[in-house]
A and B are shown apart, each in its own frame.
Chain A
Amino acid sequence: MELTRRDVLAALAAAGVVGAGAHEYAERDGGSADPPLTDHETATLVAVAEVAYPSAVSNVPDFARRYSVARVNDDADYRAGVREAVADLDDACTSWFDDRFAALDDDDARADALHEIGAVVATPDPSGGRSERIRHYLVNELLYALYTSPTGAGLAGLENPPGYPGGDTSYQRGPQ
């Protein structure tokens, strides 16, 4: 299932990001003169999404990039948290695996790294320790984006997830 711009907008709406700003970032193909995240930070978020998302979805880099850029652009505190979490993740990976997260060999290596760091089982907490912050700002935020989108939640049979204005007929339909 391909993640689309509609999914980006739905996930942003579920995160409270609506209006012209959300549409602008969801639609924008090129870079910005004043990007809210560096290329490396964006690449790291995409790399996290590639291992956090199931193989059943495609177009993950585009979805993760558009969502993350709009999300951090809407919230300066959140942007600062993401930047710190990316730096924390890179520090841990460099220390343990001799390379930054996005530069690790493949998705298996990156999944192992997230597990080793504790970011998969940690309690998400924006003001917690390193593992808690990485889970909060990177892993869980990207999972939130996926599983509040029609395509992502649709993988579990909920094509009209809470926060998405999918009309008042889907609840009447049986399983497809």
Chain B
Amino acid sequence: MTDRTPRADADVCVVGAGPAGALVAHRLAAAGHDVVVLDAGPRFDPADRPAREETAIRPGETAPWGTGVDEHAERDAFTSTGPKSYPLNDARVKGVGGSTLHWQGMVMRLHESDFRLHTETGLGTDWPLSYADLRSHYAAAERAFGVAGASDNPFAPPRETPFPLPAFEPSYSDSIFAEACEARGIATHSVPNARNSESYQGRSECQGYGTCKPVCPSGAKYDATVHVSKAEDAGARVIDRAAVQRLEHDDAGERVTAAVYATPDGEFRQEADEFVLAAGGVETPRLLLLSESPQYPDGLANTSGLVGRYFTDHFYAGVGGVVDERTRQHHVGFNTTNSHQFYERPSDGSRTAIKLEFHNYAGPTPADVALSGDALGDDLLDDVRREYGNQVGVGALVEQVPQYENRVRLDRSKTDDHGSPVPDVVWSLDDRTKRTIERANEIQRGILSELDAEIRWEIGPEKTGPAFHHMGTTRMGVDPSTSVVDPELRTHDLSNLTIAGSSVFPTTGAMNPTLTIAALSLYAADRLRERL
């Protein structure tokens, strides 16, 4: 039977075994500290990945990692009451490895301007850290992931060393877009990918399964189980199916004393000198709110009243269609060309950042067409050839300036499998972000018109949805009245409680957040080492 009892004399207790928790645990365990990691979900058997991969291929299949399925409906219950519906369980994986198990693996650094949004545009706020403060940690995060990239992006922030691995070559589809973009004066460049273009640290190079999101069977795509294993090799203890119910604090209300967690074998208390919350942008604020006490009636570390506030995600914008030539889609499941040309915002703040992505997986696969068709034999093959092969698609991530009214709060009318109130995700789309989505669509339609494409779909302000990046709900700042954690990522209220992850982002840019999550986690681990 798996031993899920607490670790005696732990130096550090980490809540969450996703990328933030795994990196912190590994770095601290490697430095000789006694570390225990608690994760609410299970360990997934790597041998099951082929079966999970099937869900990426067979039409109509969902939830390869089990989040929100009938068996876990109560465990993963949530509500979404804002103007914009939020499909939380599509956006996360609960278990060891976290949401990196189903992520696509694009890993860009934030631009320098992202750290001083208010100064440059009057929007949002500035980070209390600069790009220079995180620069070496970005490099360390790229080494940890094994990022494949090239220094061909004229819009990217300065770097000190080459990427650990060479970039993936552009796709044939990219070459079609390159001509159209050049004609319109749009610069394109490579995409830093957290997947191996060559074998790296014992993991194989990409095998071309083409199912990166939601499952990489070969392990060439980085996921946090890599650093969970490294942490365990360094002596950390990782306990799965250990759902932390609340954090307890001392009489003075200055230090966390224990994490109380529920397991299949009962409830336990894990004590430690330092605690690290790394449970993502939804469960991290939820746990703080669930940890209310007479001293903290509105939730732990919530003197500012901002725990859960400023919930932010990137909005997706896209346009796609068909062209009069074969475009070779779906050979791989990742992108190889982006454009950051429209990333920087006008100084008047009239729109936010846009990151363009050129898809290598536009339109249906042959299996998608065949299984939803209404013909057989040669007639069906004609349909498959017509629907697959000439598709093109341009997507974009669009920045939203964090909004106070968007938040994660407790829904006390509904409880999970342990009787705790579930998270209520309140999300909305503001006018500035709408305008930016419209601008992204305008750029995308322009590129497709250069290709003489027949436009078949458009994701604009009416149809837009989240990119599944949960950010902002325990924002970082210097002033305890306007932020939850300080520039060392410690909560202002409790001196031994650190938060690692995208919930500390004061603003979010339009870059996929995980490389910044990793850089901040390594930065936080260094601060912890100084204190331990």
From the candidates A15, A157, A162, name the one contacting B385 in the complex (CB within 8 A).
A157
Interface range on chain B (Cβ under 8 Å from partner): 35 or more
Instruction: List residues of B (319-377) whose CB comes within 8 Å of A's CBs.
Output: 325-326, 328-333, 336, 360, 365-367, 369-371, 374-377
Interface centre among A111, A158, A162 (most CB of B within 10 A): A162
A163→B328 contact, CB < 8 A: no
Stretch at the interface among B111-119, B179-187, B200-208, B472-480: B200-208
Q: Across the interface, which residues of B come within 8 angstroms of A169, CB to CB? A: 208
From the candidates A15, A51, A161, name the one contacting B210 in the complex (CB within 8 A).
A161
Q: Across the interface, which residues of A come within 8 angstroms of B312, CB to CB? A: none
B381→A158 contact, CB < 8 A: no
Smallest Cβ-Cβ distance to B384: which chain A residue: A156
Given contacts A52-B376, A147-B367, A156-B389, contact A171 B381 (CB under 8 A): no
B50 interfacial contact with A, CB 8 Å: yes
Q: Across the interface, which residues of A come within 8 angstroms of B381, CB to CB? A: 54, 56, 155-156
Complexed CA–CA distance, A21 and B273 (Å): 50
A143→B371 contact, CB < 8 A: yes
A124→B377 contact, CB < 8 A: no
From the candidates A14, A54, A161, name the one contacting B378 in the complex (CB within 8 A).
A54
Q: Across the interface, which residues of B come within 8 angstroms of A167, CB to CB? A: 207-208
B388→A157 contact, CB < 8 A: yes
Contact pattern, A 96-135, Cβ under 8 Å of B = 1, otherwise 0: 0000000000000001001100001100100000000000
B366→A160 contact, CB < 8 A: no
A144→B169 contact, CB < 8 A: no
Q: Across the interface, which residues of B come within 8 angstroms of A15, CB to CB? A: 54, 58
A147→B366 contact, CB < 8 A: yes
A162→B384 contact, CB < 8 A: no
Given contacts A16-B51, A114-B376, contact A162 B365 (CB under 8 A): yes
B444 interfacial contact with A, CB 8 Å: no
Complexed CA–CA distance, A166 and B206 (Å): 10
Given contacts A158-B331, A158-B366, A162-B57, contact A168 B206 (CB under 8 A): yes
Given contacts A52-B376, A156-B381, A171-B328, contact A165 B218 (CB under 8 A): yes
Q: Across the interface, which residues of B come within 8 angstroms of A156, CB to CB? A: 366, 381, 384-385, 388-389
B124 interfacial contact with A, CB 8 Å: no
B168 interfacial contact with A, CB 8 Å: yes
B332→A161 contact, CB < 8 A: no
Smallest Cβ-Cβ distance to A152: which chain B residue: B366
A162→B172 contact, CB < 8 A: no
Interface of A is mostly: loop
Q: Across the interface, which residues of B come within 8 angstroms of A13, CB to CB? A: 50, 53
Query: In angstroms, how far is the closest chain A Cβ from the Cβ of B325?
Result: 8
Complexed CA–CA distance, A147 and B381 (Å): 10
Query: In angstroms, how far is the closest chain A Cβ from the Cβ of B253?
Result: 51
Interface range on chain A (Cβ under 8 Å from partner): 35 or more
Complexed CA–CA distance, A152 and B369 (Å): 13
Given contacts A54-B378, A144-B58, A157-B389, contact A174 B328 (CB under 8 A): yes
Instruction: List residues of B (30-65) whose CB comes within 8 Å of A's CBs.
Output: 50-54, 56-58
B208→A160 contact, CB < 8 A: yes
A120→B376 contact, CB < 8 A: yes
A42 interfacial contact with B, CB 8 Å: no
Complexed CA–CA distance, A147 and B367 (Å): 5
Contact pattern, A 73-106, Cβ under 8 Å of B = 1, otherwise 0: 0000000000000000000000000000000000
A43 interfacial contact with B, CB 8 Å: no
A172 interfacial contact with B, CB 8 Å: yes
From the candidates A17, A166, A173, name the one contacting B328 in the complex (CB within 8 A).
A173
Q: Across the interface, which residues of B come within 8 angstroms of A148, CB to CB? A: 57, 367
Complexed CA–CA distance, A15 and B56 (Å): 10
Contact pattern, B 165-205, Cβ under 8 Å of A = 1, otherwise 0: 00011111101000000000000000000000100000001
A162→B170 contact, CB < 8 A: no
Q: Across the interface, which residues of A come within 8 angstroms of B330, CB to CB? A: 158, 161-162
Q: Across the interface, which residues of A come within 8 angstroms of B52, CB to CB? A: 16
Smallest Cβ-Cβ distance to B375: which chain A residue: A120
B211 interfacial contact with A, CB 8 Å: yes
Query: In angstroms, how far is the closest chain A Cβ from the Cβ of B336?
Result: 8
Complexed CA–CA distance, A76 and B330 (Å): 32
Query: In angstroms, how far is the closest chain A Cβ from the Cβ of B373?
Result: 8
Smallest Cβ-Cβ distance to B50: which chain A residue: A18
B457 interfacial contact with A, CB 8 Å: no
Query: In angstroms, how far is the closest chain A Cβ from the Cβ of B384?
Result: 5
B459 interfacial contact with A, CB 8 Å: no
B209 interfacial contact with A, CB 8 Å: yes
Q: Across the interface, which residues of A come within 8 angstroms of B385, CB to CB? A: 155-157
B374→A121 contact, CB < 8 A: yes
Given contacts A161-B365, A170-B331, contact A144 B371 (CB under 8 A): yes
Q: Across the interface, which residues of B come within 8 angstroms of A32, CB to CB? A: none
Instruction: List residues of B (414-445) whose CB comes within 8 Å of A's CBs.
Output: none
Complexed CA–CA distance, A115 and B377 (Å): 12
Q: Across the interface, which residues of B come within 8 angstroms of A152, CB to CB? A: 366
Complexed CA–CA distance, A139 and B375 (Å): 11
Nearest 7 Cβ contacts at the A-B interface = A171-B331, A16-B51, A165-B207, A54-B381, A162-B210, A16-B54, A175-B326
14 further A-B pairs in the complex, CB-CB below 8 A; given A156-B385, A163-B57, A175-B326 = A13-B50, A16-B51, A124-B371, A156-B389, A161-B210, A161-B330, A161-B365, A162-B56, A162-B211, A162-B330, A162-B365, A163-B54, A164-B208, A166-B208
* B-to-A contact residues, CB < 8 Å: 50-54, 56-58, 168-173, 175, 197, 205-211, 217-218, 325-326, 328-333, 336, 360, 365-367, 369-371, 374-378, 380-381, 384-385, 388-389
30 contacts between A and B (CB under 8 A): A13-B50, A14-B367, A16-B53, A51-B376, A51-B377, A54-B380, A114-B376, A143-B380, A144-B370, A147-B371, A153-B366, A156-B366, A156-B384, A156-B385, A157-B388, A157-B389, A158-B365, A158-B366, A160-B208, A162-B330, A162-B333, A163-B209, A163-B211, A164-B209, A167-B207, A168-B207, A171-B331, A171-B332, A172-B171, A174-B328
